[in-house]
């Protein structure tokens, strides 16, 4: 592997500015297959679906072999094949986080040279007490680093203190602890960091996608865009920002907006379906746009829209976030207005690389952000190639 290529791999992984077209979603990988559903992550393989595994198999265009990259890293002093890693995901049944954890383990084993048997992936079961137990067990079992997708980001101060007291660095993913907490890491030299994506950007892209339709979302021409908003978990900053910034972007584009309904759907497809079905019964043709904080809920909304005899792109618009394969395929087929690629390749690879930096004793920034990418009919086919 040429040095330039190694640098490209490592730069992608530190995610200064990864996008779908950059490092995140490259098409083929020499390395990309095994970890997804294999014994690399005993817990992950229990719950990881075959489709999630195949969706992520394409992985990154960082096509260097594991030994080359691992060699580069271990030159800095740590043999990654002996490093023990504890990973806990807030809930295995979450579609997006399934793609994320599959890619995380695949990348660590296939491209960085970690040993499968030294990586433990646990299901937090959406229960903070359960997850806290897992973290305590990681400490007892002597892990060298943790990668944590907290059930409640508000538990970060306590978790950080526990891990810090045990001398174990932590990479938080997906659910951002508040600023007071991350400022403390920098100020007190605590070995903790966060990698994620700024949900204000994804919300803004959703609003822009509606503003870019021929009638800017005002299908019935009454001078305002009447919408329903299906929210994820409202305590989650991603849900809060997407809800706020999608509407702000539409208003910034000069549109008046009317909220018919705002309801929590907990990122869940069945809830998205039920909420949309009820809203269509209650508000009928008044509903011009269905905003969903993620694609799983938007896929549920599409089921209700179709069952209600409505047609996306003609008498209703529908947008989500994540770029799940089914959602992007629906855009190609004209059944979704748009989504936003939540770059799990970039975030997972970035998380693993931050863990390696901690293992190597390097400094890391407290906050690391990966860009979202707007997905509409203009680029859906191209994005689909990268993720499937």
Residues near ligand GAL (CB under 6 A): 94, 96-97, 174-175, 232, 236, 238, 267, 294, 321-322, 342
**Residue 196 CB, nearest approach to ligand GAL (Å):** 8
Distance CA(72)–CA(75), nearest Å, equals: 5
In this complex, which beta carbon is closest to ligand GAL, that of residue 74 or of residue 174? 174
Q: How far is the CB of 101 from ligand GAL (least distance, A)?
A: 11
Task: Specify the residue for token string 């018919």.
Answer: 260
Closest distance of CB 270 from ligand GAL, Å: 14
Candidates 131, 138, 185, 187; CA nearest to 160 is 185
Nearer to ligand GAL, 120 or 231 (CB): 231
Strands 85-89 and 119-123: parallel
By beta-carbon proximity to ligand GAL, the closer residue of 175 and 191 is 175
The Cα 125–Cα 28 span in angstroms is 33
Residue number with CB closer to ligand GAL (96 or 107): 96
Question: Residue 332, Cα to own-chain centre: how many angstroms?
Answer: 22
| Nearest-angstrom CA–CA distance, 78 and 80 | 6
Token pair, residue 338, equals: 């748009």
Closest approach, Cβ 293 to ligand GAL, in A, equals 7
Work out how close the CB of 301 gets to ligand GAL at its nearest, in angstroms, rounded to a whole number. Answer: 14
Nearer to ligand GAL, 118 or 152 (CB): 152
C-alpha–C-alpha distance, residues 249 and 226, integer Å: 15
Nearest CB to ligand GAL, comparing residues 132 and 174? 174
Give the closest residue to 20 by CA, choosing from 365, 388, 343: 343
- Provide the 3-class DSSP secondary structure of residue 216: coil
**In 12-31, which positions are buried (b, 16+ CB within 10 angstroms) versus exposed (e)?**
bbbbeebbbebbbbbeebeb
What is the nearest approach in angstroms of ligand GAL to the Cβ of residue 342?
5
Please choose, from the candidates 326, 322, 314, 336, the residue with its C-alpha nearest in 3D space to the C-alpha of residue 374.
Answer: 322
Nearest in space to 117 (alpha carbons), one of 188, 39, 48, 214: 39
Q: How far is the CB of 367 from ligand GAL (least distance, A)?
A: 16
Cβ closer to ligand GAL: 70 or 323? 323
Strand 339-341 relative to strand 373-375, pairing = antiparallel
């Amino acid at each position: 592997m040429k040095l330039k290529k190694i640098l490209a791999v490592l730069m992608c992984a530190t995610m200064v500015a990864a996008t779908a077209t950059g490092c995140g979603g490259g098409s083929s990988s020499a390395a990309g297959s095994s970890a997804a559903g294999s014994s690399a992550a005993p817990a992950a393989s229990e719950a990881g679906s075959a489709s999630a595994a195949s969706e992520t198999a394409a992985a990154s265009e960082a096509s260097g072999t594991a030994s080359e990259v691992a060699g580069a890293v271990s030159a800095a002093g740590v043999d990654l094949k002996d490093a023990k890693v504890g990973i806990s995901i807030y809930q295995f049944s979450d579609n997006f986080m399934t793609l994320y954890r599959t890619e995380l383990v695949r990348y660590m084993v296939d491209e960085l040279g970690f040993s499968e048997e030294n990586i433990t992936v646990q299901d937090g079961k959406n229960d903070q007490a359960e997850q806290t137990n897992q973290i305590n067990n990681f400490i007892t079992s002597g892990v060298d680093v943790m990668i944590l997708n907290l059930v409640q980001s508000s538990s970060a101060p306590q978790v950080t203190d526990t891990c810090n007291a045990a001398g174990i660095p932590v990479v938080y993913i997906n659910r951002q602890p508040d600023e007071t907490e991350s400022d403390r890491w920098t100020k007190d030299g605590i070995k903790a960091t966060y990698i994620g994506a700024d949900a204000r950007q994804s919300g803004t892209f959703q609003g822009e996608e509606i503003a870019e339709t021929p009638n800017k979302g005002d299908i019935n021409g009454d001078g305002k865009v009447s919408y329903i908003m299906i929210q994820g978990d409202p305590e989650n900053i991603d849900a809060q920002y997407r809800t706020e910034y999608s509407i702000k972007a539409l208003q910034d584009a000069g549109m008046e907006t009317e909220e018919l309904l705002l309801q929590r759907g907990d990122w869940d497809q069945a809830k998205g379906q039920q909420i949309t079905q009820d809203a269509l019964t209650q508000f009928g043709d008044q509903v011009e746009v269905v905003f969903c904080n993620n694609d799983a809920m938007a896929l549920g909304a599409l089921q209700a829209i179709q069952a209600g005899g409505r047609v996306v792109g003609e008498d209703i618009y529908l947008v989500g976030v994540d770029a799940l394969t089914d959602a992007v395929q629906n855009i190609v087929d004209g059944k979704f207005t748009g989504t936003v690629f939540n770059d799990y390749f970039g975030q997972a690879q970035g998380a693993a690389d931050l863990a390696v930096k901690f293992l190597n004793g390097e400094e890391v920034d407290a906050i690391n952000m990966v860009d979202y990418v707007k997905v509409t009919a203009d680029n859906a086919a191209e994005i689909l190639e990268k993720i499937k």
